[in-house]
């Protein structure tokens, strides 16, 4: 026998491999499976492209216009698939658009992007967006698969966060579904395979893709943790930096830090042993000593090279180590963002870092001699007490920290008025700090038009700004009073993540402040910036962000940074746990149960509210998705019925809905009666006539295999539904 047939759940599927068991399907006869398989294939292709696109988007490399354009094309195609509508850009339009954009490409490269790679990404994503809206042939779909593959490869080079793994898993699922659906679609179109009533095919193929993808990921994960990694990132040097923070280099222009503070990207994580809450510290980066009216900078990048021995650098001499005062030990994970500066709280006495040497600048900042990509890890033991007086200034150094460009003539008199009555330099500096904090407002909004003199505009016109303007104003006014000063850039505080135990410091925590030289005290820190009057509120989204950040921290530590040392540590912990379990598991069962209860209670006290919110949100989203999918299935079933290409199962489901309507009105069908027999047992009237007509069309479609009866079946059902609702 050349054919295999089966019947289950109201659907009949027959595969004819030889073409002898079943008569060939005529071209005029609709193939019900073609629509199901075709839609599944298009959904899989779209999911493949979307997962690659969102993986690249999560890297932060795409600019907003490009991301919005490509995202809009994906969204439009998704809406068309969801509503069952068809839309294709004609081929000649697509050719014209491609030619126009190729002509625009040199302009993008020369005047807009200014970078070959960025302009090329714009070109590829534009062509991909157009192809998404115009794909109709196998060649078009092959092009989209190639684009999706290039997207996921590019994302692997651009992204180092957990979201890449999520989209990689989705890409794998959609990739398996795409290949399987394409093969079934090709076989069905060849005429050698006939599939009827394949409404369950999409569900089964989707489950198959998920299971195969999950198996592949589990096997890969097992191999990953068993085999040590010796090559961390083979292609990382081929990709430019993803997040540029020029404000933490050797110069900063007024307004740059304000732009950085609008981003919530996590840049640094700090772990302080024993800390159970936020620690309010300033994480000092670069100190800038020269000002030209618009920017602070250091004209000389020279510094002292400090050799690191066995991963440890000692900075404190014996006198410093004997000083009384608070000290702090902390570990830092710093993401690479186009800066080689180390951010340090307090005065460092010891630094632990895997680097051959560091450079200490004349402003007492520390930076790597050679810039790294990826995460920079270092530990610091710092002194947090009063500042160290240090050696006296040389004449050249004093001139450097007192030099000023031509200033607005109102600035120096304002500084003298604000410090009138202060007896010494320290008191004058404190008076200026309090004056700026009390008399000016905080805002991240930039001036509508860039002023000719930004500092004078801040002091005498706008009287509002962010930390950069406050620090610049105080440093300049101190210099007009003969007090050496400089501007420091870095971060402030951060948010404590109770899930991971790390302090999360984001781009929005970027800050600048002032250091002034006070005789007998040395460099003293002053912060003239008032607090933000509109701090971000802590809500569900902020707690969700902390949960995602904890997952990303685990990803960084145990995936990206996984090496032979961590493998040995993991094996040691497993062996130690196994030894304890085999030796005394029964003796420790009682204490273990108590520890488990205590741990569970502590967990629910700390995260119970967040967990309840997450479960409720998942339930609401699941309910909405389920209702939406149910509505879509009913709509597609109705379309198939009205178009004469319905499945036998469509008739069954509509029949069950009709019986449910009758049962609500008190007419229950005994299980031994067929549809026609039940129709004859109904009381005479309009309802009985409508159901009799419905039953006849149902049997023609369900058992007679006549798809053209679907339209009449739908019409009879609607008439029956109308009569029953009217009778109620």
User: What is the tens place of the pLDDT at every residue in 249-267?
Assistant: 667 888 777 777 777 778 8
CA–CA separation, 142 vs 49, rounded Å? 11
Given pLDDT bands bounded at 50, 70 and 90, which one contains residue 10?
very low
Decide if pLDDT at 233 tops 60: no
So what's the pLDDT on residue 240?
43
pLDDT digits 0-9 by tens, 710-721: 778 888 888 888
Q: What are phi and psi for residue 667, nearest 5 degrees?
A: -105, 100
Given pLDDT bands bounded at 50, 70 and 90, which one contains residue 145?
confident
So what's the pLDDT on residue 701?
79
pLDDT digits 0-9 by tens, 498-541: 878 889 898 888 899 999 999 888 899 999 999 887 766 555 66
Task: Describe the crossing of helices 467-480 and 425-439 by its angle, rounded to 10 degrees.
Answer: 140
Coil, strand or helix: which one is 293? coil
Which of 480, 479, 504 is CA-nearest to residue 492?
504
More reliable by pLDDT, 233 or 158: 158
So what's the pLDDT on residue 353?
92
CA–CA separation, 44 vs 174, rounded Å? 5
Share of the chain above pLDDT 90, in %: 20
So what's the pLDDT on residue 575?
55
CA–CA separation, 340 vs 369, rounded Å? 8
Among 139-143, 282-286, 316-320, the range of highest mean pLDDT = 282-286
Q: Give the range among 95-104, 152-161, 347-356, 406-415 with minimum mean pLDDT.
A: 152-161
Q: Is the torsion defined by CA of 587, 589, 591, 595 positive or negative?
A: positive
CA 119, chain centre distance (Å): 24
So what's the pLDDT on residue 540?
62
654-680 mean pLDDT: 81
Which of 341, 292, 301 is CA-nearest to residue 472?
292
Q: Give the range among 74-83, 266-275, 623-632, 714-723 with minimum mean pLDDT.
A: 623-632
Decide if pLDDT at 665 tops 80: no
Q: Give the range among 27-36, 322-331, 334-343 with minimum mean pLDDT.
A: 27-36
Q: Give the range among 235-239, 372-376, 711-715 with minimum mean pLDDT.
A: 235-239
DSSP 25: P
Strand pairing partners for 378?
A: 332, 353
So what's the pLDDT on residue 374?
65
Q: Give the range among 213-217, 550-554, 555-559 with minimum mean pLDDT.
A: 555-559
CA–CA separation, 344 vs 284, rounded Å? 5
Q: How far is CA 538 from CA 265, 494, 495, in A?
A: 17, 13, 11
CA–CA separation, 229 vs 209, rounded Å? 29
pLDDT digits 0-9 by tens, 95-130: 777 788 878 888 887 877 766 767 777 777 787 788
Decide if pLDDT at 427 tops 80: yes
CA–CA separation, 478 vs 401, rounded Å? 10
Decide if pLDDT at 333 tops 50: yes
Given pLDDT bands bounded at 50, 70 and 90, which one contains residue 371?
low
680-697 mean pLDDT: 82
Among 149-158, 199-208, 404-413, 618-627, the range of highest mean pLDDT = 404-413
Given pLDDT bands bounded at 50, 70 and 90, which one contains residue 457?
very high
CA–CA separation, 655 vs 711, rounded Å? 14
More reliable by pLDDT, 62 or 599: 62
Decide if pLDDT at 572 tops 60: no
Given pLDDT bands bounded at 50, 70 and 90, which one contains residue 67?
confident
Compute the mean pLDDT over every residue in the chain, rounded to the nearest whole number. 77
CA–CA separation, 77 vs 277, rounded Å? 47
So what's the pLDDT on residue 557?
63
Given pLDDT bands bounded at 50, 70 and 90, which one contains residue 199?
low
Q: What are phi and psi for residue 342, nearest 5 degrees?
A: -95, 135
So what's the pLDDT on residue 479?
96
Decide if pLDDT at 234 tops 60: no
More reliable by pLDDT, 343 or 657: 343
Decide if pLDDT at 338 tops 90: no
Alpha helices in 481-588 (DSSP H): 540-555, 564-584
CA–CA separation, 538 vs 536, rounded Å? 7
Decide if pLDDT at 331 tops 80: yes
136-148 mean pLDDT: 84
So what's the pLDDT on residue 409?
94
Q: What are phi and psi for residue 367, nearest 5 degrees?
A: -145, 160
Given pLDDT bands bounded at 50, 70 and 90, which one contains residue 242?
very low
Q: What are phi and psi for residue 642, nearest 5 degrees?
A: -70, -25
More reliable by pLDDT, 488 or 98: 488
Given pLDDT bands bounded at 50, 70 and 90, which one contains residue 556?
low
Q: Give the range among 464-468, 614-618, 691-695 with minimum mean pLDDT.
A: 614-618
So what's the pLDDT on residue 267?
85
Decide if pLDDT at 34 tops 60: no
Q: Are 593 and 599 in contact (CB under 8 A)?
A: no
Decide if pLDDT at 562 tops 60: no
| Rounded (5°) CA angle 624-630-631 | 90
Decide if pLDDT at 600 tops 90: no
Share of the chain above pLDDT 70, in %: 73
So what's the pLDDT on residue 4?
38
More reliable by pLDDT, 177 or 195: 177
CA–CA separation, 484 vs 523, rounded Å? 9
Q: Give the range among 118-122, 194-198, 217-221, 592-596 with minimum mean pLDDT.
A: 194-198
Structure pTM? 0.55
70-90 mean pLDDT: 80
351-367 mean pLDDT: 90
For residue 516, the surrounding DSSP H or E stretch is: strand 510-518
So what's the pLDDT on residue 134?
80
Decide if pLDDT at 164 tops 70: yes
So what's the pLDDT on residue 524?
93
């Amino acid at each position: 026998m050349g054919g295999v047939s089966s019947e289950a759940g109201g659907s009949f599927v027959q595969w004819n491999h030889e073409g002898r068991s079943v008569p060939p399907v005529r071209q005029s006869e609709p193939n019900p499976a073609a629509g199901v398989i075709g839609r599944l294939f298009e959904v899989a292709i779209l999911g493949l492209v979307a997962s690659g696109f969102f993986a690249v988007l999560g890297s932060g490399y795409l600019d907003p216009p490009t991301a919005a354009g490509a995202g809009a094309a994906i969204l439009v195609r998704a809406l068309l698939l969801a509503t069952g509508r068809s839309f294709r850009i004609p081929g000649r339009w697509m050719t014209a658009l491609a030619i126009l954009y190729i002509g625009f490409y040199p302009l993008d490269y020369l005047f807009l992007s200014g970078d070959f790679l960025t302009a090329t990404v714009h070109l590829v994503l534009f062509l991909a967006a157009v192809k998404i809206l115009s794909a109709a042939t196998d060649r078009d779909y092959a092009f989209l698969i190639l684009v999706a593959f290039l997207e996921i490869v590019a994302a692997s080079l651009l992204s180092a966060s957990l979201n890449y793994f999520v989209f990689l898993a989705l890409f794998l699922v959609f990739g398996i579904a795409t290949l399987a659906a394409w093969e079934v679609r090709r076989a069905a179109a060849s005429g050698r395979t006939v599939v009827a009533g394949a409404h369950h095919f999409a569900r089964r193929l989707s489950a198959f893709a998920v299971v195969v993808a999950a198996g592949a990921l589990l096997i890969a994960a097992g191999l990953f943790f068993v085999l040590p990694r010796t090559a961390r990132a083979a292609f990382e040097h081929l990709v430019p930096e993803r997040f540029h923070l020029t404000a933490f280099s050797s110069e900063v222009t007024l307004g740059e830090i304000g732009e950085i503070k609008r981003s919530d990207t996590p840049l640094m994580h700090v772990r302080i042993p024993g800390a159970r809450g936020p620690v309010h510290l300033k994480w000092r980066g670069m100190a800038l000593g020269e000002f030209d009216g618009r920017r602070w900078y250091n004209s000389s990048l020279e510094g002292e090279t400090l050799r690191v021995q066995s991963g440890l650098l000692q900075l404190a001499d014996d006198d410093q180590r004997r000083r009384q005062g608070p000290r702090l030990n902390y570990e830092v994970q710093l993401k690479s963002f186009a800066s080689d500066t180390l951010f340090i709280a307090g005065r460092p006495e010891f630094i632990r870092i895997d680097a051959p040497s560091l450079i200490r600048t004349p402003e007492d900042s520390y930076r790597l001699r050679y810039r790294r990509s990826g995460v920079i890890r270092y530990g610091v033991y710092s002194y947090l007490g009063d500042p160290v007086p240090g050696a006296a200034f040389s004449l050249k150094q004093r001139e450097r920290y007192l030099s000023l460009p031509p200033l607005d003539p109102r600035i120096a008199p304002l500084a003298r008025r604000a410090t009138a009555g202060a007896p010494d330099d320290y008191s004058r500096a404190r008076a200026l700090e309090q004056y700026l904090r009390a008399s000016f407002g905080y805002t991240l909004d930039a001036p509508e038009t860039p002023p000719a003199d930004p500092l004078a505009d801040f002091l005498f016109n706008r009287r509002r700004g962010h930390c950069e303007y406050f620090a610049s104003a105080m440093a300049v006014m101190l210099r007009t009073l003969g007090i050496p000063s400089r501007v420091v850039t870095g971060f402030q505080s951060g948010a404590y993540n109770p899930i991971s135990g790390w302090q999360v410091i984001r781009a929005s925590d970027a800050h600048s402040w002032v250091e002034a030289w006070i005789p007998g005290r040395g460099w003293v820190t002053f912060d003239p910036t008032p607090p933000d009057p509109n701090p971000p509120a802590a809500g569900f989204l902020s707690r969700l962000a902390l949960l995602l950040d904890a997952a990303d921290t685990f990803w960084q530590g145990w995936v990206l940074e996984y090496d032979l040392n961590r493998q040995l540590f993991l094996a040691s912990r497993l062996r130690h746990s196994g030894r304890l379990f085999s030796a005394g598991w029964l003796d420790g069962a009682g204490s273990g149960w108590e520890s488990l209860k205590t741990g569970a209670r502590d967990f629910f006290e700390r995260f119970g509210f967040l967990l309840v919110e997450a479960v409720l949100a998942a339930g609401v989203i699941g309910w909405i998705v389920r209702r939406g999918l149910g509505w879509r299935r009913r709509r597609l079933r109705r379309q198939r019925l009205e178009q004469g290409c319905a499945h036998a199962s469509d008739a069954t489901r509509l029949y069950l809905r009709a019986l449910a309507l009758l049962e609500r009105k008190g007419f229950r069908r005994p299980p031994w009666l067929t549809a026609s027999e039940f129709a004859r047992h109904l009381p005479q009237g309009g309802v009985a006539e409508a159901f009799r007509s419905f039953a006849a069309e149902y049997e023609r479609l369900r058992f007679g295999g006549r798809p053209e009866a679907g339209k009449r079946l739908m019409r009879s059902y609607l008439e029956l539904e109308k009569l029953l609702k009217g009778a109620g």
